[in-house]
Amino acid sequence: MRKLIVLLLFISFCGGATEETVDQVETTTTTSSTTSTSTSTSSSTSTTVSTSTLPDIMPTVLITCDPVVSDEDGLMTFNFEVTTGTNELVVLNIVSWFDSSRTDDLFISDGLPSSGNSNKFGYTVDASFSQYEIEMVVMDSKDNFANDYCLYEQNPKSSTQTTSPKSLYPDEPSSDTWIIYTGNGNQVVDVSSVDTTLKIMTVNASGGASIVSYNGNEYLDLLINKNGTEVDNETVLFNFEFEQPTLLEITATADWEIILKPVASARNFSDDEIKGSGSEVIEFYENNSTFQVLTFVSPTGVSVISYECDGSYNDLVINQLGSATDNSVRSDSSTCYLEIVGNGEWTISR
């Protein structure tokens, strides 16, 4: 990859100097004294000076998120402008991701404009990528800072051949692939014969249940914890994070059902929005090659964890206790599955 970081000083123009404003107020006081033989009058004048100081002018940075073609073949330039406020600028930090891969983390202190001035610069990059994510931060000597963010996507090259895109999502497996366990009350279920491929576990329990997984004597995870509360099609992970349960310990007071399904049976987050309730696992393959910005709405709060395609842990996307209203977060690339943990209804949009 060819990269070239160029800071080009295009224009420097002077702003007005910051001044303190002094207001002068004159006050006159008259004092009279009287005796039986004569009257005298004396006066004195005092001057009060009040001083007001203007607040610091903050620095700014502004990215023009529409690059121009560079004079050198294969490069393009994002122009940006830095304005210094009252205090001297200390550093300019440029962080970039090209096609979701971290590319630059630059710290620049030379050539920044002096107090009250603005300079224009250029950030020149390799033009061969399809997506550019750039964040810039400036900080002054009093730790005041400003930032700007740019997300730019190039139009893909047109093709004369029209083909139907292959779906990112596999076909949903037949119910013949399901493994079903049923019972009543407390039981320990042997699942050692289940293969080690990624699966989801759907649970129904009319009187509530808690389910703990073990590998032999080794405790693995608390999969379901809803004693006394009906469990209605709650879906959790199975065989993820390279854990291979051999035993499931069920604590319940009534009938229960456990269904193990291939992970391809999970719902697909292929549209702009998906809704659900309680705990669920969803497939989200658009999040594998690039990051996604997700917005969550849930009146009861929600936690979401992302996993890679091999089932390994990727990131805690959001952990919002209580009401979640239009909370937007970034879900990192390399994500194929989202595990939603909640007690009520939720909506995820992108």
349 shares a domain with 276? yes
The yes-or-no verdict on residue 161 having pLDDT over 60 is no
Span 320-329, average pLDDT: 74
Structure tokens at 128: 């061969």
Domain endpoint, select from 265, 289, 305: 265
* CATH number for the domain that contains residue 124: 2.60.40.10
Residue 79 and residue 68 in contact, taking contact as beta carbons nearer than 8 Å: yes
Asked if residue 327 and residue 284 are part of one domain, the reply reads yes
Co-location of 219 and 240 in the same domain: yes
Residues 210 and 244 in one domain: yes
6 falls within a domain: no
CA-wise closest residue to 203 among 195, 190, 194, 212: 212
178-220 pLDDT per residue, tens? 999 999 999 999 999 999 999 999 999 999 999 999 999 999 9
Summarize the confidence of residues 33-47 as an average pLDDT.
Answer: 42
Q: Are strands 199-205 and 231-238 parallel, antiparallel or unpaired?
A: antiparallel
Domain with 194, as residue range(s), is 169-265
Q: Give yes or no for residue 89 having a pLDDT over 80.
A: yes
Phi-psi region of 325 (alpha: psi -120 to 50; beta: other; left: phi over 0): beta
143 and 67 in a common domain: yes
Residue 108 near residue 61 (C-beta atoms within 8 A): no
For 317, the token pair is 């996307």
What is residue 287's three-state secondary structure? helix
Shared domain for 260 and 305, answered yes or no, is no
Task: Give one word for 99, left, alpha or beta, with left for phi > 0 and alpha for psi -120 to 50.
Answer: left
Of 219, 246, 265, the one marking the end of a domain is 265
- 7 in a domain, yes or no? no
Residue 186 is part of a domain; what is its CATH number? Answer: 2.60.120
Q: Are residues 82 and 92 in the same domain?
A: yes
Other C-beta atoms within 10 Å of 181: how many?
Answer: 17
Rounded to 5°, the CA angle 111-101-59 comes to 30
Residue 104 lies in a domain: yes
pLDDT score recorded for residue 71: 79
Q: Are residues 148 and 209 in the same domain?
A: no
Confidence at residue 51, expressed as pLDDT on a 0 to 100 scale: 52
Question: Could you identify the residue written with the tokens 């400036």?
Answer: 138
* Beta bridge partner(s), residue 26: 47
Query: What does the buried/exposed string (b/e) look like for 294-324 if buried means 16 or more CB atoms within 10 Å of the residue's CB?
Result: bbbbbebbbbbbbbbeebeebbebbebeeeb
**Residue 173 and residue 317: Cα distance in Å, rounded?**
28
Asked if the model's pLDDT at residue 34 lies above 60, the reply is no
SS3 state at 53: coil
| Predicted pLDDT at 324 | 64
Is residue 310's pLDDT more than 80?
yes
Phi, psi at 235, each rounded to 5°: -120, 130
Nearest residue to 299 (alpha-carbon basis) of 276, 278, 322 = 322
The Cα–Cα gap between 342 and 302 comes to 5
The sheet carrying 187-190 orders its strands as 187-190, 247-252, 208-215, 218-227
State the number of CA atoms in the 13 A half-sphere of 282 facing the CB: 23
Would you say residue 258 lies in a domain? yes
Same structural domain, 254 and 274: no
Q: Quickly count: other Cβ atoms within 10 Å of residue 223's Cβ.
A: 22
Longest CA span, the chain: 125
Domain count within the chain? 3
* Digit-coded pLDDT (tens) for 233-250: 999 999 999 899 999 999
Would you state the pLDDT for residue 53?
A: 61
Indicate if 327 and 289 belong to the same structural domain. yes
Residues 205 and 145 in one domain: no
Where residue 313 sits, what CATH number does that domain have? 2.60.120.380
Q: Is the pLDDT of residue 1 over 50?
A: no
| Domain boundary, last residue among 215, 243, 265 | 265
Q: Rounded mean pLDDT of the chain? A: 82
Q: 163 lies in a domain?
A: no
All residues at 6 or more sequence positions from 216 whose CB lies less than 8 Å from its CB, including other chains: 246, 247
Instruction: Please indicate, yes or no, if residue 195 is contained in any of the structural domains.
Output: yes
Question: Do both 294 and 348 map to the same domain?
Answer: yes
Question: What is the chain's length?
Answer: 350
- Tell me 290's DSSP state: S
